[in-house]
Chains A and B, each alone.
Chain A
Amino acid sequence: MIEFHLDGRSGVPAYLQLVQQVRQAVRLGILRPGDQLPTVKEVVTRLTINPNTVLHAYRQLDLEGLVEGRRGVGTFVSAHPVPPPPGDLKGLRSSLDRWVGRARAAGLDDEGIAALVAEAVRPAAVSRVA
């Protein structure tokens, strides 16, 4: 089971935060195919948010094929939600660590590193939204 949390200051809409947390949990294997997501009521009373926010998030995840809602039963992680994490996740991580080391050595602080990463990632993000 996944436990949602909300960051009120992030500027990311609440529904999108829920969507991202499910995507992330699936990617990291915290949520597996067949796992049930919390019911709308559970999320609403845990986070004190509007039910429509949760419904919106679950609908979006359903559209993405990541979960499927079964009427009167609940919402479940789909059988084949996303391509499995690449085998070389570890390799990517360690090369990123090396890159971060180089960036720090070059005098970049955390904010500078984050800005550079965001810039490198941005084209992909834009095409996903469009």
Chain B
Amino acid sequence: MSAGVAAVRTSGLGKRYGSRWALRDCALEIPAGSVTALVGPNGAGKTTLLHMVIGLVEPTNGDVEVFGRSPRRDAREVLPRLGFVAQDHPLHRNLTIAEMLRYGRKLNPSWNQQLAASRIERLGLSQKQKIGRLSGGQQAQVALTLALAKQPQLLVLDEPVASLDPLARREFLNAVMEVVVDDGLTVVLSSHIVAELERVCDHLVTLAEGATQLSGPIPEIVARHRLLTGPRGDVASVARVHDVIRESHTERQTTLLVRANGHVYDSCWEQHEVDLEEIVLAYLGYRPGNGASTIPAREAVRA
């Protein structure tokens, strides 16, 4: 599953706007053929990261490689292999679908007009329709069609379903999954809600305040984390072996969310499985170094 060359690899990647770092020291690897969720609260640096992946933004420092090449220095090789759908799928509202497709064909040497036309037909749309008259879900599907007609090997979707109703959301993700099965392309989708993407993704990267926290195959991430509950007491003995991501205490009880390094043998802790959303929330409220959350609880829940 994760064998072969990485679709995306970054190391020490950072972007500064003025005095503010939008992304800092980001190291991650997205295997070819994976469907990766990039999750983090608004303002965490997701869009900045994606814009550096597609070569739209120049890094302040560090490197980003797409299929082993720089999206800016080797733009000619990299860009034709990339499909991108920006947040809120901006399209020219006054153009018809046919005009958008003509645009796409002119700009992209690898354009597949037949693929585009048949997708539009399958969506039950006519090419004569104006973009501005389409529903949000239909606009998202047209934006996806434009990206797919380039026949990319990496599809980058920035908050693709945030503005869609549940039905349009499901239809959009379904269309993406269908291409994944048919063409085996690599997909990166961002969202501030992990639950939205959990069933369609096999890899996860979390970002908060410009830094990566969690990165890897989802089944491994879920398997490694545990919720431990026990009488209030000594956390240090657990923390010596395992990484304590979050701890909370009541008068008589301590609850720990840990990344386990091997088995947890200590019998005074009751162990529970913990789902992905819970793990992600714990990380988004987690400060390396002091263990406990310093982000206000409200902020973490919204993420």
Instruction: Give me the interface of A with B, judged by CB distance under 8 Å.
Output: 6, 8, 11, 13-15, 40-41, 44-45, 47-53, 56
Contact = CB atoms under 8 A, between A and B. Distances in A.
B236 interface: no
Contacts of A44: 177-178, 180-181
Contacts of A13: 219, 222
A7 to B, nearest CB: 11
B200 interface: yes
Contacts of A15: 219
Interface in B180-205: 180-182, 195, 199-202
A6 B201 CA distance: 15
Contact of A48 (B177, B195, B273): B177
Contacts of B181: 40-41, 44-45, 51
Interface in B64-107: none
Contact of A50 (B170, B178, B201): B201
Nearest to B276: A13
Given A40-B181, A44-B177, A45-B174, 14 more contacts: A6-B199, A13-B219, A15-B219, A44-B178, A45-B177, A45-B181, A47-B199, A48-B174, A49-B177, A50-B177, A50-B202, A51-B180, A52-B1, A53-B202
B299 interface: no
A55 B1 CA distance: 11
B199 A49 contact: yes
A11 B195 CA distance: 12
B35 interface: yes
Nearest to B174: A48
Contacts of B180: 44, 50-51
A8 B199 contact: yes
Contacts of A49: 177, 199-200
A72 to B, nearest CB: 15
B173 interface: yes
A8 B181 CA distance: 22
A115 B144 CA distance: 47
A48 B222 CA distance: 20
B275 interface: yes
A122 B225 CA distance: 22
A51 B273 CA distance: 24
Contact of B199 (A11, A40, A45, A48): A48
A51 B177 contact: yes
Nearest to B184: A51
B199 A14 contact: yes
